[in-house]
Amino acid sequence: MSGMRKECEINGLKWIHMTHPSRDDFAYLDGIFSFHPLVKESVVAPTLHPLVDSFDDHLFLILHFPIIYESKHANKVAEVDFLITKNILVTITYMEFKNLETLFDDFQKNEEVQKRLTHKHTGLLLHYIVDQLFQKLARGLEFMEKEITRIEDEIFKKGDRRRLVEDISHARRDILDFRRALKPQSGVLKSLITEGEQFYGHSVGPYFADVLSTEERFENLVENQRETIEMLHHTNESLLSSRISNIMAVLTVFSAIVLPLNLIASIWGMNQQIMPLRDGRHDFWIVVGIMAVLLFVLVLFFKKKRWL
């Protein structure tokens, strides 16, 4: 897929955003700043784990943001690479990440935000981008919370158990995908506070600490959701097992009732020369009556034992 590059320069500070970077994009980066060879090597392809690296005159940050689809499609994780200098901030994504695209477009249009974030260095702009991307994860958390609430209501309304199993599986997958992307980044954001203060000065420390606080809050929320959906899963499994046990009990009782009736029918169905209650005018109805009485007695017995 061909690359796309956007640029926005305000008050001597430049934000460059690249999607699916091409060789021309990498050549352009070489022309505007001499990034470390390890950084250049890392941005050629996506990286599986978050990372923050500090060099003499720039920082390199990798973060991942889960994308939860409400249509039960397979979820995705968007990687954002940040190449950071004092007056240039480069963001790189390897897939179309709507949240970041919208954020860039809104920043270009909002002069008030531009004035507030583009003085001295790129530190405040970096905080703004990372913080907004984390804040936009709230939508995925809200969707998962609504799904958990709906599943809980369906469980205790005795809904379709087979559909509930599927819904619980989708919810567990969403929570797992969200948690897997979010959890490893806590350590990286803690390091970013230290690296950011050394690079920009101590004034940026509270801003990056605010991002860490948001990430930890979301991590606690998704952990609570994980525990809740696991409990709902076990509850639904218990109800399913109870329902199956009840069905098996009814079938067992039914078999116990039918067995003696089958035995009587089999005995009187034997082709023997001498057989009582077989050749008389009312013998058939007598046998049927015996079977009916036996059926009635067995049903009363099982009712008394509360097996029915």
**Which pLDDT belongs to residue 82?**
96
Report strand pairing: 13-19 vs 51-54. Answer: unpaired
**Which pLDDT belongs to residue 172?**
93
- Look at residue 63 and give its three-state secondary structure: strand
Number of domains in the chain: 2
Domain boundary among 241, 264, 288: 241
Mark whether 235 and 265 lie in a shared domain. no
Mark whether 230 and 258 lie in a shared domain. no
Mark whether 14 and 155 lie in a shared domain. yes
Which helix (H) or strand (E) is 102 found in, with range?
Answer: helix 98-109
**Which pLDDT belongs to residue 145?**
94
Percent of the chain clearing pLDDT 90 (strictly above): 51
Mark whether 216 and 262 lie in a shared domain. no
- The first and second tokens of residue 30, run together, are 């070489």
The pLDDT of 60-85, averaged and rounded, is: 92
Instruction: Give the pLDDT confidence of 261-298 residue by residue, as tens digits.
Output: 888 777 777 666 666 766 667 777 777 888 888 888 88
- The first and second tokens of residue 106, run together, are 């809104």
Instruction: Give the pLDDT confidence of 177-235 residue by residue, as tens digits.
Output: 999 999 999 999 999 999 999 999 999 999 999 999 999 999 999 999 999 999 999 98
Mark whether 65 and 103 lie in a shared domain. yes
Mark whether 213 and 297 lie in a shared domain. no
- The answer to whether residue 120 scores a pLDDT higher than 70 is yes
Chain-centre distance of CA 128, in angstroms? 26
Contacts of 54 (CB under 8 A, 6+ apart): 60, 195, 198, 199
Instruction: Give the pLDDT confidence of 159-189 residue by residue, as tens digits.
Output: 677 788 889 999 999 999 999 999 999 999 9
Query: What count of other Cβ atoms lies within 10 Å of the Cβ of residue 121?
Result: 19
Mark whether 71 and 111 lie in a shared domain. yes
Mark whether 216 and 101 lie in a shared domain. yes
Mark whether 228 and 87 lie in a shared domain. yes
CA dist list (Å): 105 to 8, 15, 69, 127 = 10, 11, 23, 17
Mark whether 203 and 288 lie in a shared domain. no
Residues spanned by the domain of 274:
248-304
The model's pTM: 0.79
Mark whether 114 and 229 lie in a shared domain. yes
CATH number at residue 199: 3.30.460.20
Strand pairing partners for 7?
A: 16
Widest CA span in the chain: 115
**Which pLDDT belongs to residue 274?**
65
d(CA 99, CA 297): 72
Chain-centre distance of CA 288, in angstroms? 62
Mark whether 195 and 297 lie in a shared domain. no
